[in-house]
Amino acid sequence: MEKILTAAALILLISVYSFTEEVSTEMISINEIIETTGAEFRWDPFRFLGELSLSDQTVIFQPGIPFLLINYSEKTETVSVVRGREGGIYFSREGADIIIDLFSSVSVPVSIVKVKAIIIDPGHGGKDPGAVGRFHLDDGQFELKEKDVVLSVAMNVAERLKSTYSDKQVILTRSTDEFISLEQRTVIANSIELGENEAIIFVSVHANASLNPRANGFEVWYLPPEYRRDLLDDSTIESELSDVVPILNTMLEEEITVESILLAQSIQKGLTVSIGDKIEDRGLKEESWFVVRKAKMPAVLVELGFITNQKEALTLRDESYLKKVGEGIYNGISGFINHFEMQYFPGE
């Protein structure tokens, strides 16, 4: 509304001022301003109005009207805007400086890396059930297998990703109860051909097990080689880490990247929002250092909770809960993609 009123006010002013004037040699042409700032120019021939815009900043002007209108609201001090006899538009030095200053403060999103494929890797399968929990309840006993829980969650995540990212390959390493070796999972990841600025996201989904029946909570691992070495050297490795070690060794020859950490953080945040009221967050498993390097494959491993904890096993067999888990992981991945694909640089 404000925009329309302002435009109307400018139109009224047309009759007061003349349009074409002599262009002094000190004046700056609109082409020069466009070249300097990268702004977009639109001209309304009916209302004789020009508009320069960049991101969310806009300047409206009219040849012959001695001010600029900034962002539909703010009128500048007197500046000269003229239309030369050959049709070009020129601004006085002060006017040009105001426009250039305004646009130079704008941040322009620049896409530098594209996620080409997202691999969702439900752990285990077939002859390998992963962790198994067996519990006796009043109404009988039940058994829960990691391979089933993680498949359900992984398929849910993949479905959500597919409907959002039609431009990306969304690949499940398995979509049935079949055995897939770690080597085969690696082959799947490595079979995707990447261009210069393309990357793969790899998210492995597991559930935890512990000899301690009270061990509980979800955790997200990112996978630095330094950590891998620590794990293997550490004689105090707890049994629940047994999942992680072979995957660290087999899957992830890539160097630790800051992207892996960001992906892990983003998934942790997504899970906290979706299921944080039902399950404890055991945090990120991370090292204090990392090598900043462009990632080919940011990779993380999510442990959904403890199959061996009766309370968690009961939630993990609830399909509606697993959908919430899927939602959390999906939100984490898409949050990461938004960050990863768009880097903001201040305008020059």
Stretch that binds Zn ion, among 3-11, 129-137, 184-192, 231-239 (CB under 5 A): 129-137
* Least separation in angstroms between CB 206 and Zn ion: 3
Residues 6 or more apart in contact with residue 252 via CB below 8 angstroms: 223, 225, 228, 297, 299
Q: For residue 43, what are the CA distances in angstroms to 40, 90, 215? A: 10, 14, 66
Min CB(148)–Zn ion separation in Å: 12
Using CB under 5 A as the binding rule, whether residue 206 contacts Zn ion is answered as: yes
Task: Name the segment binding Zn ion (CB under 5 A); options: 5-13, 130-138, 156-164, 172-180.
Answer: 130-138
Query: What is the number of other CB atoms lying within 10 angstroms of the CB of residue 77?
Result: 10
Give the DSSP letter of residue 173. S
Q: Contacting Zn ion (CB under 5 A), which of 50, 95, 125, 130?
A: 130
Contact between 335 and Zn ion per CB under 5 A: no
Is residue 133 a contact point for Zn ion (CB under 5 A)? no
305 binds Zn ion (CB under 5 A): no
C-alpha triplet 273, 237, 300: angle, nearest 5°: 35
Looking at the chain, list the stretches that DSSP marks H as alpha helix, in order from N- to C-terminal side.
2-14, 30-37, 93-104, 146-164, 182-190, 225-233, 244-251, 258-275, 310-316, 319-341
Is residue 123 close enough to count as binding Zn ion by CB under 5 A? yes
Q: Is the Cβ of residue 261 or residue 307 nearer to Zn ion in the bound state? A: 307
The window from 51-59, 102-110, 199-207, 308-316 that contacts Zn ion (CB under 5 A) reads 199-207
At residue 170, the 3 state secondary structure works out as strand
- Asked if residues 60 and 10 have their Cβ atoms less than 8 Å apart, the reply is yes
Task: Please state the length of the chain.
Answer: 348
Nearer to Zn ion, 11 or 182 (CB): 182
Binding-site size for Zn ion (CB under 5 A) equals: 4
Shortest Å distance, C-beta 267 to Zn ion: 16
Cα 245–Cα 156–Cα 112 angle in degrees, nearest 5:
75
Q: How far is the CB of 137 from Zn ion (least distance, A)?
A: 24
Output the CA–CA distances (angstroms, integers) from residue 94 to 87, 100, 317, in the order listed: 21, 10, 69
- Which residues from 220-279 bind Zn ion, rule CB under 5 A? 243
Tell me the closest approach of the beta carbon of residue 339 to Zn ion, in angstroms.
28
128/286 with CB nearer Zn ion: 128
Count of other CB atoms within 10 angstroms of residue 336? 26
Stretch that binds Zn ion, among 5-13, 112-120, 194-202, 204-212 (CB under 5 A): 204-212
Identify the burial level of 278 via C-beta atoms within 10 angstroms of its C-beta, where 0-12 means exposed, 13-18 middle and 19 or more buried.
Answer: middle
Which stretch, 51-59, 127-135, 181-189, 290-298, contacts Zn ion (CB under 5 A)?
Answer: 127-135
Where does this chain bind Zn ion (CB under 5 A)?
Answer: 123, 130, 206, 243
